[in-house]
Amino acid sequence: MNNIYHYLSEVLDLPLDIVEKCKINFSVQVAKKGTFLLQAGEVCNYTFFVEKGLLRMYSLDQHGKEHVIQFAPENWMISDRSSLFFNENSHFYIEAVEDTEYLMLGNNFFTELSVQFPDSVYKIDLLLQKHIKNLQDRVRALLSDTAEERYLAFIKMYPDILQRVPQWMVASYLGITPESLSRVRKNLVSK
């Protein structure tokens, strides 16, 4: 659980005694590769913080085609926020891409944290705003960027993921076919 302690103390600038108190608010779990932490139709009750391993969130369209929304490697959080905060059935799946050690943070984890340590409110809000910004940037990129631009942004956001996931998952995240991804990569190598 070293990553969560580092995350809370460094990213949220929390003192170690506050971080130590936080451990009662989460539980450590292990998921084997291919295990689902959330399936479409279920209500999401947790935010998942990845200690070690890799998770992905995706949806299925009416033809059964997967659309990867997000990857969550070490030190990342992943959740269906609409389901978590509005108690709605999820449209997404969250699956372990690798054997994964993760923490389950309840939907009130950050609220309780801000009550225990009011100085963290600004940093918690900043995390939320960054998350919203990343989602907006992703939507804009899917609508207007070229496949090459999306691929380069993917590498910047997820520098070590390419070696950890099959190419079809990367293509799905980018909104292109695996064949198109091969062409993009080939064009970049030739430049």
- Predicted confidence at residue 18, as pLDDT, reads 72
Please state the domain extents for the chain.
Answer: 2-119
Blockwise average pLDDT, block size 10, the chain, 191 residues:
79 76 78 98 96 97 95 95 94 98 88 82 88 92 96 94 95 96 93 79
pTM, 2 dp: 0.91
Edge-to-edge strand list for the sheet holding 36-38: 36-38, 93-96, 55-60, 66-72
Domain 2-119 coded CATH 2.60.120.10? yes
- Measure the CA–CA gap between 181 and 170, rounded to whole angstroms: 8
- Predicted confidence at residue 1, as pLDDT, reads 58
